[in-house]
Structures are given as structure tokens and as C-alpha cells.
Amino acid sequence: TTLPRVQAAFPEGALTKRIRVGLQAQPVQDEMVKKILGNKATFSPIVTVEPRRRKFHKPITMTIPVPPPSGEGVTNGYKGDTTPSLRLLCSITGGTSPAQWEDITGTTPLTFVNDCVSFTTNVSARFWLADCHQVLETVGLATQLYRELICVPYMAKFVIFAKTNDAVESNLRCFCMTDDKVDKTLEQQENFEEVARSKDIEVLEGKPIYVDCYGNLAPLTKGGQQLVFNFYAFKENRLPFSIKIRDTSQEPCGRLSFLKEPKTTKGLPQMAVCNLNITLPAHKKETESDQDDETEKTDRRQNFVSLALRKRYSYLTEPGMSEFPNVLRLQTNFS
């Protein structure tokens, strides 16, 4: 995406040695702003001069398009007049550190030209225009929005394992993973069965994922709390919980929905990140042969431990042997 109205003008003498300079503009979608902040504020693209934290010998001139007027207060068209609601934000953090926004409107004169704002700066940094009628809230709202903008998307799979405890209750374990380690999880060794697996789906780093159950399955949670877990790339993002069958006369099946947002009291429909249909595995009663196998394994472990202990302390049963055969005996003569 290119934004031709974003410009940086370097006068002669601003740089005294030859370096590579970059100008980066990150668009900010109005739909995302409204979803996160409502009508409290609007924002321009985030404009960054790279490398950051460099001081110029002469001020450079930045030009950034003006954001659309926010929905609160009186609509203005920025006709060259002083606009208290329009704020210029700046962040001088470098490297991979998150931006720390400051309001520099009071110390930086703004010039309005053709729905754009121009200003000068001696330092390379990130710049951001915001239209917010609650001026004192501008930095906080910008920080909140910026956290959402910098979330890294990953392609991940949702996988569900199940183990039936009895005719009514079962254990479920949900995963959201970016690699193929699902086949190497502990569940494979604990007699869980994979009951559903999604295709690759885009999820955001560090964001919560909410889970709802539908159909003939109901989660067993304290006080009806909604199930939730966070996604982190290259981690085992596991959510263990128990469910019960609502009607045991019906097939033990249902649907799990994974959502970006928690349920609302208004009950408004939400767009799911992923929907997976599951059918619980049949309950397997422990047979006598299984019990005999388990008893045999226990006896084998006990015999192995006994043999190891006998070898370790064998010197106690052999006459004339000591654990410390080379102990020096000290004789003391008293005059």
C-alpha cells in the first residue's frame, strides 16, 4: 500500500554524511478504529522516519494527511483554523521497542495545506495525527489502538482431544498451535482421542481466544464463566476443561466455536474464528485383562526397585565389608 500524501522533505545540509533513510507509513483502517474506540477519536496513518532517534543538522518537513473528524463534538473541516481536537503524537523509541506516544502539539506548530498537516522536526521518529475532542484521553486512546495494530498474525490449527470418563462427563483439551507438534503432545500418551482438527487459520499473537459450546454438550465451569485461553506462537496453547452431555438419550455431539470477543449480555451474534463439530468417543470400561496388565506393570516396577536397592546396599549383607573400606583409624596416645 502506498500513501502518496505522506512526505518527508530534507533540505540541503540536513544530513552531513551519506546514510540510507526510509519513510514508512502504516495505514489505520477506520473500521478498526470504530470497533476498538467507537467515535471517540480518528487517526491518520502512522508515519515513521528511519533510522529513528537520529538528529538532523537542519529541520526536515513532514506532511501527513489529516484524519477524518471524530464523531464527538462539532464537526470541523480543518479550514486552516486552529483545531484544539487535532493532536500531533510522537514516539522516539528505537529498535523493536513498542512505541511510547507523547502529545507534542503544544511545542510543534502545524500548517494546514490541502487536507494535510505539515510540521518540522529535528529528530527522526514515529508521528501520528489524532482527532480527539477529549484531549486528555488522546494518548491513552492512541496507545490502546496501537497495541491492536502491532499484533502479529500467524497461521495456526485448532485441535480438540477428548476422553470419556463415564456416560455423562468427558474431558476435552483444545489446542491452537503453529507447528506440527500436535502429534507429539502428552494427550497421545494419556488415552485421549483426536476428535477435530481445523485447517490453517489466522490468529493474532498474544490475543485471547474465547470458547463456546453448542449442541448436546455443555461445559462444566464455575459460575458459568466463559472458557478462554491466549495464543502465543510456537507454544502449546492448551485449554483443558470438562463437559457433560445434556441429553444422554441423544448422540454425544456438538460444536465448539472459537471467538475473538467474549459473549455479551445482549446476546448479539459474533463472527467465529473457527467452528469445529465434535462427537465424543465411546466410554471404554476397564476390563479384567486391563486391570491384570496394570497390576503386572506395578509388580514389575516394584521388583525393579527392589533389585536396585539390593545392589546399592549389598555391602550390608556381606561380612567384613564396609561401605567405606579405606577408613583410617586414628590412635591417640595420652601421656
Reported as a single tens digit per residue, the pLDDT across 237-247 is: 999 999 999 99
Torsion angle, alpha carbons of 310, 311, 317, 321, to 10: -160
Q: What is the CA radius of gyration of the chain?
A: 33
- Rounded to 5 degrees, what are φ and ψ at 271? -80, 120
Predicted local distance difference test score (pLDDT) of residue 48: 95
DSSP class of residue 189 equals G
> What is the value of pTM for the model shown?
0.65
CB 284 within 8 Å of CB 164: yes
Structural domain 153-279, CATH architecture: Sandwich (2.60)
Which residues of the chain carry a pLDDT beneath 70? Answer: 1, 71-83, 181-184, 265-269, 285-335
Residues 6 or more apart whose Cβ sits within 8 Å of residue 225? none
Distance CA 200, CA 275 (A): 13
Collapse the DSSP code of 249 into the 3-class scheme (helix H, G, I; strand E, B; otherwise coil) and give the result. coil
Which phi and psi (to 5°) does residue 29 adopt?
-75, 135
Instruction: Sort 330 into a burial class: Cβ within 10 Å, 0-12 / 13-18 / 19+.
Output: exposed
Please say whether the dihedral angle defined by the alpha carbons of residues 49, 50, 55 and 59, taken in this order, is positive or negative.
Answer: negative
Q: Tell me, what's the pLDDT at 187?
A: 76
Task: Give domain 7-71+82-150's CATH number out of 2.40.30.10, 2.60.220.30, 3.40.50.2300, 1.10.10.10.
Answer: 2.60.220.30
Q: State the Cα–Cα distance between residues 220 and 227, nearest whole angstrom.
A: 10
Domain-wise residue ranges, the chain: 7-71+82-150, 153-279
pLDDT of residue 122: 94
Q: C-alpha cell of 270?
A: 459474533
Q: How many CB atoms lie within 10 A of CB 66?
A: 21
User: Rounded distance, CA 299 to CA 304, Å?
Assistant: 9
Predicted confidence at residue 300, as pLDDT, reads 53
**Cα distance from N-terminal residue to C-terminal residue, the chain:** 101
Residue pair 66/116 in contact (Cβ under 8 Å)? The answer is yes
Tens-place pLDDT, residues 296-311: 555 555 554 455 555 5
**115-160 tens-digit pLDDT:** 999 999 999 999 999 999 899 999 999 999 999 998 989 999 999 9
